[in-house]
Chain A
Amino acid sequence: KNEVEQSPQNLTAQEGEFITINCSYSVGISALHWLQQHPGGGIVSLFMLSSGKKKHGRLIATINIQEKHSSLHITASHPRDSAVYICGVDSNYQLIWGAGTKLIIKP
């Protein structure tokens, strides 16, 4: 079983929809990261959080340490949000990454 699991693997939605991507992990962590990778490959760090919630524009990330679960939400989704979203955790000075969620937003 992978230590970091993301769901869904693929998600297609219409522009304007509210999007939720989930990340569950099975190890103790000091922090959790969300990354965005657009087609063409560049990777950008969206959030790093260890508790509670963070918001940046239309993106919101939450984490529940007790349940070992994090969610990434996108409000008022737009085609430019189409990307792969990757969750990763800091555990014992190691970074462990999920396989990613491929999001497609149709106009």
Chain B
Amino acid sequence: DAEITQSPRHKITETGRQVTLACHQTWNHNNMFWYRQDLGHGLRLIHYSYGVQDTNKGEVSDGYSVSRSNTEDLPLTLESAASSQTSVYFCASSGDVNTGELFFGEGSRLTVL
């Protein structure tokens, strides 16, 4: 069965360290998204991609970067982790941004000390 997986599921790191969260989907979807979810906020878009070599900034992109070298993967990198980036991160994919059903990964809980 096709799926979307995230790793690691839990990560504790220190301020200033570089962290990469992996997202891998086997749906062959063009569209992939990274969200963060915090108490009191809905899902907030960090970065998104509509295809290989395409990346776009979302509403909370500062301090994050992504790359899309193939269809399956959209890794999220925190260049220098900050305590404000402690959050739960969700990756999602869809076949069509306007009409396609969304599929979410299980989430990655990141704690920055």
| B19 touches A (CB below 8 Å) | no
Give A49's nearest chain B residue, CB to CB: B99
Min Cβ gap B7→A in Å is: 15
Min Cβ gap A74→B in Å is: 20
Interface centre among A4, A48, A95 (most CB of B within 10 A): A95
B102 touches A99 (CB 8 A): no
Given A44-B104, A45-B103, A48-B102: A97 touches B97 (CB 8 Å cut-off)? no
Min Cβ gap A58→B in Å is: 19
- The stretch among B21-29, B41-49, B68-76, B78-86 that forms the contact with chain A is B41-49
Complex: how many Å from CA A44 to CA B3? 12
Min Cβ gap B45→A in Å is: 7
Min Cβ gap B71→A in Å is: 19
| A66 touches B (CB below 8 Å) | no
Pick from A4, A48, A94, A98: contact of B45, CB under 8 Å: A94
Interface centre among B42, B100, B101, B107 (most CB of A within 10 A): B42
| B53 touches A (CB below 8 Å) | no
Which residues in chain A, 25-39, are within 8 Å of chain B measured between CB atoms? 30-31, 33, 35
B99 touches A30 (CB 8 A): yes
A99 touches B42 (CB 8 A): yes
Pick from B42, B88, B104: contact of A45, CB under 8 Å: B104
A42 touches B106 (CB 8 A): yes
Given A41-B88, A42-B104, A42-B107: A31 touches B98 (CB 8 Å cut-off)? yes
| A15 touches B (CB below 8 Å) | no
Contact partners of A45 in chain B: CB under 8 A: 101-104
- Residues in chain B within 8 A of chain A (CB atoms): 33, 40-45, 88, 90, 92, 97-104, 106-107, 109
- Residues in chain A within 8 A of chain B (CB atoms): 4, 30-31, 33, 35, 41-45, 48, 50, 86, 88, 90, 93-95, 97-100
